[in-house]
Chain A
Amino acid sequence: MRSTKPLWWLLFAAGGMVAALLIPVHVALIGALAAGWASDAFAYDRVLALVSHPLSRLYLFVLISLSFFHWAHRFLYTLAEGLHLKTSWLPLPVACYGTAIAGTVLTAIVLARL
């Protein structure tokens, strides 16, 4: 686990940047939809056309998977701090980073099926 630390940190940092720059607008857009302000923009044919472009899919893959890795890293350290466990206690990083890896694989599958 120790030797892979820089990798997880790099994914966390990249995810933190992506989350800081891009997640606010996505939350605002889905929030606008939730409030009923953007139903035309989220119409089935329109969104399908938007995500059919390879660049849109690449963008969504990067956005979603890096957000998962960002969550995994912060959640791991918060959990370890809150429960007085060591981050080197294997089930903890395996559960957190494993969830992020599973999420990344799922994202790739979903995007490939679109």
Chain B
Amino acid sequence: MGPPMTPYRRPVRFTWWLGHRGYTLFVLRELTSLFIGAEAVLLLLLLHNLSKGRESYEAYLTFLTAPGMIVLHIVALAAAIFHAVTWFALAPKAMVVRVGGRRVPPPAIIAANYGALAVASLIIAWIVLGRIP
């Protein structure tokens, strides 16, 4: 009897996902969630400071206009759009919609999602800005 066998585990580098375009896009897609979470935190902090009064709120607005914030939001916007594009691309696989017994073709489902994105964005921007952007 020799020593007990241990299953071989091929070592995987932390950078495994950089070698292949498909893997890189997959990991980048997962990482978009960090920016979605960060934006939710920023919104929550905005509401928190709003509840504390004018002074806190205005101090928070000053914090939001720091130079790094513009860079963060450009990257976050790219991440949010990348998330939306990949999410909509998967939508026809996640749900099969039938109208009158016929399956709605996948491109129509994707197009409907983009339509909803456009309409929702316009409505929210209109409410927040008080005018049509």
Contacts and interface: CB of A to CB of B under 8 A. Distances in A.
Contacts of A47: 46, 50, 57
Residue with the highest number of chain B CB atoms closer than 10 Å, among A23, A27, A33: A27
B54 to A, nearest CB: 5
A25 B113 contact: no
B125 A67 contact: no
| Interface bin, chain B | 35 or more
A23 B34 CA distance: 12
Main secondary structure of the interface of B (DSSP, over half): helix
Interface string B24-39: 0001001111111101
B65 interface: yes
A94 interface: no
Contacts of B74: 31
The 9 A-B pairs at the shortest CB distance, nearest first, are namely: A31-B73, A71-B37, A74-B33, A67-B40, A25-B121, A20-B84, A34-B69, A20-B87, A78-B30
Interface of A: 13, 15-17, 19-31, 33-36, 38-39, 41-42, 44, 46-48, 50-51, 60, 63-64, 67-68, 70-71, 73-75, 77-78, 82, 84, 103, 106-107, 110-111, 113-114
